[in-house]
Amino acid sequence: RPRKKAKKKAKMPALTFGFNIQKNRPRKYPSPFKRGVCLKVTTMTPKKPNSALRKVARVRLTNGMEVTAYIPGEGHNLQEHSVVIIRGGRVRDLPGVRYHVVRGVLDIGGVEGRKQQRSKYGSKKTG
């Protein structure tokens, strides 16, 4: 009898399931994005040797999970009760931050004055 294969732990567990409200139970429903409501918008300091104040938001998702998501780009208009979309993608120097907020969708605006890599930051073309 062969050895049992070790189960792989999900890197982004919040994106791997949804929630059935009628039956009041979670259900496996992987998706690339999830919607959520900001509970708290704050800053975090990164691990050594870096030094900064990184902008993060505590988000309650539609599946009931509560996660910390990074807010990319310079400046944002997020506050408590803002509705956002999150995607996967960790921030290497912030422990426990495994998700990114998608800029330019729902309540969060795009980055102003962005000329390059605009699609990543939800910026409109200025011309």
- Whether residue 9 is contained in a domain is answered as no
Span 18-72, pLDDT tens digits? 888 888 888 888 899 999 999 999 999 999 999 999 999 999 999 889 999 999 9
Instruction: Please check whether residue 59 lies inside any domain of the structure.
Output: yes
| 60 inside domain | yes
Per-residue pLDDT averaged across 106-121, rounded? 89
Rg of the Cα atoms in the chain: 17
Domain that holds residue 91: 28-121
CATH classification at residue 103: 2.40.50.140
In the chain, the number of structural domains is 1
User: Does some domain include residue 8?
Assistant: no
Q: Which residues contact 28 (CB under 8 A, 6 or more apart)?
A: 16, 17
